Amino acid sequence: MAISIRTGTDTDPSLTAVDHDEVRLLAERYGQPHCRTYDIVADAHLRQQRWRAAPDRRGEVVFAIRQPNGKILLHTKPQYEERFYRLPSGGIRPFEPVEDALLREVEEETGQIVSVRRFVGLFNCRFHRRGDTAMFASYIFYLESHTAELNATDTDEIAGYQFVAPEHLGHVALALRSLRGPRRRWGYWRSLAHDLVYRFLTCAEIGD
C-alpha cells in the first residue's frame, strides 16, 4: 500500500497541534497516554478534511465505550460510501477543553451516561500533501457506560450502531485498513486508534 507513515516520539510543541499543559492535566486524572507521532502522506480525501480555510476543530476525541454487557459500542454514518462500523469520534472546537469535547460528543452521538476510565492514547498526526503540512491530534479514551440505552441528540450523524467484544476490535481495524476508493488512506489513518484500543483492552503489548 502506497502510504507513508513514520512513527516517532518527538514532543516539540511547534510540530504538533497539542497543548502539552492540558495533556499533563488529563494524564494526572486518567493515566499517562500512549503517545505517538505519525507522518502521513495525504490523498485528495484527507486533504479536503484537514486543509480547511477556516478550521473548525483543533483535533478530535476518539472514544471506546464499554457497555454494561462488556461489549464496545461502534457506529456508522450515513455518508459512508460502504457500510462499515468504527469507534465514535468528534471534533474538538478551537478553544474547547478536550474533556468538554469528549463529554459533548458522547452526549451527541450516544446520549449515554458515562465515566471516563482511561486516557489511552494521543496521536499527533502530520498530514503531508504536495509540500504542505496540516497537523491534527487524536485524543483516545476508554469510557464505561452506566446504561445500555442509546439516545443520541445528533441523529443526522448516526446511521446505526453495533456492539462487539473487545477482541473483535482488531478485525475492525483490519476492515478499516482494507477500505478502497476515496476513503482508502482515511481508513488506514482511522485504523491506528482501533489498533491501540484493541491492544489496551486485550492486554496485548503496545509497541511501536
Residues sharing a CB contact under 8 Å with residue 53, sequence separation 6 or more, in sequence order: none
How much is the pLDDT for 25? Answer: 98
Nearest to 107 by CA among 165, 65, 136, 68: 65
Cell numbers that stand for 198 in this block: 484493541
- pLDDT per residue over 163-190, tens digit each? 999 999 999 999 999 999 899 999 999 9
β-bridge mates for residue 140, sequence order: 62, 121
Burial class (CB in 10 A: 0-12, 13-18, 19+), 1: exposed
Residue that the C-alpha cell 504538533 belongs to = 16
Cα distance between residue 76 and residue 167, in whole Å: 19
Nearest to 120 by CA among 98, 142, 136: 142
How much is the pLDDT for 154? Answer: 85
Cα distance between residue 198 and residue 130, in whole Å: 33
Judged against a pLDDT cut of 90, whether residue 23 lies above it is answered with: yes
How much is the pLDDT for 14? Answer: 43
- State whether the Cα torsion 161-165-170-175 is positive or negative: negative
- pLDDT per residue over 43-96, tens digit each? 888 888 877 755 788 999 999 999 999 999 999 999 888 889 999 999 999 999
β-bridge mates for residue 59, sequence order: 92
How much is the pLDDT for 51? Answer: 77
pLDDT band at 4 (very low <50, low <70, confident <90, very high): very low
CA–CA distance from 149 to each of 74, 122, 131, 140, 200 (Å)? Answer: 14, 29, 47, 23, 25
Judged against a pLDDT cut of 60, whether residue 7 lies above it is answered with: no
Q: Work out the angle between the directed axes of helices 20-30 and 98-109 (0-180°, nearest 10).
A: 60
Cα distance between residue 123 and residue 16, in whole Å: 10
What does CATH list as the number for 5-201? 3.90.79.10
Instruction: Report the run of H or E that residue 24 belongs to, with start and end.
Output: helix 20-30
> Range with the lowest mean pLDDT among 93-97, 108-112, 130-134, 198-202?
130-134
Cell numbers that stand for 168 in this block: 473483535
Nearest to 140 by CA among 14, 49, 26: 26
